[in-house]
Structure 1
Amino acid sequence: MTQAPWPETDGAAAITRAVTRGAARLFEDLGHAVVTELRLANGRRADIVALAPDGTVTIVEVKSGIPDFAADRKWVDYGPFCDRFFFAVSPDFPLERLPDPDTCGLIVADAWGAEILREAPVVRLAAARRKAITLRFAATAARRLRGLEDPRL
């Protein structure tokens, strides 16, 4: 795996940051808008949410390794909030440990980029849910941008 471009003391945190950055870059290169750490209506926080120009919502769950994957099963709660769901992992992650291809796509990433190894199945959101997640995405992005301009926020 490519060395992360920032110092980290925790290996898992460094891997998570690198994979998140690479996967976000992949979707941005595909023309999507990306927000990381987006809180969903069910209280879960998605690692990456990508909004395509056509309104397709993709959620990406980043896994730093087998301990992270084994300890965290919240990803099953993301399906009702996206059209497509992917796992993003580092190049050295044992891919055979991930769920069945019928449930998720697969991205391999490092800090510099990513590649989709397996497309995610598409399950279209209902119109009301799509509107709600799109508005949440937009409001979160706007608040974060304003926060860069005004430290009061």
Structure 2
Amino acid sequence: MPGQRLARGVARLLVSLDHAVLTEFVPARGLRVDLISLGPKGELWIVECKSSRADFACDRKWQGYLDWCDRYFWAVDGDFPAGLLPDDTGLILADPYGAEIRRMAPEARLAGARRNRLMRDFARAAALRLQRLQDPEMLSAGVF
């Protein structure tokens, strides 16, 4: 999938910036972001990967993600018409092997209670994913 290839490159970039990264994260019911990252100072970034003009045009939920992060980015490849993307969001140019920030997203700090909830949900999701990798038989035993 093209979006997953972009997500891989973006994840590599974010890890190089000392962020912990989760893909396909649900910050709230009805929302699922391509990537969310937790930075070393507790900052939360969301990145949506768009592989084509049609993929971007179909996305009706992205503005709902703004309330769930400190910075919001789009990740696209070099062929994407970046002029379509809102100027008040971040822009990351990516491929499957890496990425670079072309436009830093403006910061809109989360409220403390929401940040705490997201950090707790992030930690739980990461721990459960790790446990599933370490003990895949738990899935067939109905534990997860």
Counterpart for residue 116 of structure 2: 131
Q: Is 1:65 matched with 2:52?
A: yes
Instruction: Map 1:1-153 onto structure 2 (within 5 A).
Output: 13=1, 15-99=2-86, 101-102=87-88, 104-151=89-136, 152-153=138-139
Return the offset for 1:42.
3.5
- The one-letter code of the counterpart of 1:96 is G
Q: In 2, distance between residues paired with 1:142 and 1:129?
A: 20
Any idea what the Cα deviations from partners look like across 1:16-49, whole Å, max 9, x if unmatched? 1211000111000000000000011232001000
TM score, norm. by length of structure 2: 0.93
Q: In 2, distance between residues paired with 1:23 and 1:91?
A: 14
Any idea what the Cα deviations from partners look like across 1:59-84, whole Å, max 9, x if unmatched? 00110110100011211110111000
- Give structure 2 stretches of 5+ with no counterpart: 140-144
Q: In 2, distance between residues paired with 1:43 and 1:142?
A: 22
Q: In 2, distance between residues paired with 1:51 and 1:87?
A: 17
Quote the sequence identity (%): 51
SS at 1:78 equivalent = helix
Computed over aligned residues only, the root mean square deviation of the Cα atoms, in angstroms, reads: 0.8
Q: In 1, distance between residues paired with 2:47 and 2:65?
A: 9
- The one-letter code of the counterpart of 1:126 is A
- Give structure 1 stretches of 5+ with no counterpart: 1-12
**What is the aligned residue count?**
138
TM score, norm. by length of structure 1: 0.88
